[in-house]
Chains A and B, each alone.
Chain A
């Protein structure tokens, strides 16, 4: 079975621009999570979808971040406008059930210049 896939693997943009990250979870996984690792810090939770519904978005840094999961399949995370502090690696993970281990993608490395 295909794993969690994320696009792009690396994105370099200038401050003020917009970037959209995409995550394709494992087929059949209702739970989709976004995490972020800022350089030198721990991996931190951003938000959780169950199918197309946001269950928990307590980790979203501010309203410049918008996550969607149309139709309960793939998800996008848009940053608009990007700021320097948004640089980091963004991970997506999915799980079949809530109490099942999460499967992670390879991450998107976002660099804001």
Chain B
């Protein structure tokens, strides 16, 4: 079945350490790809998106993501995590055949940052 997978439900890193959050999708063609972040009590905020072109995408708050077609992945990275990055992160896709551009979400990864 077509889906979006975030294998890690919880991740804990120390402040200043690097971070990588995984996202894999299973669609025949490349979907549109997004990463969103939800801080406690807030809505989802767009970090970055990939439609086509350069496979390394820069986003807000120092985040970047790399699209790898061969691995059907769109992993989110940050070189040095700050305590304020503690939140839940969602990978979302718009399937290539979607006429309404509705999002299909992964289950989310909750990030905890240790001081």
Contacts and interface: CB of A to CB of B under 8 A. Distances in A.
Interface of A: 3-4, 31, 33, 35, 41-45, 48, 55-56, 59, 91, 93, 95, 98-99, 101-107
A84 B40 CA distance: 24
B103 interface: yes
Contacts, number: 53
A91 B44 contact: yes
The size bracket of the interface on B is 20 to 34
Contacts of A45: 102-104
Contacts of B45: 104
B92 to A, nearest CB: 8
Interface stretch (B10-18, B20-28, B78-86, B105-113): B105-113
B49 A101 contact: yes
Nearest to B49: A101
B74 interface: no
B43 A56 contact: no
Nearest to B51: A99
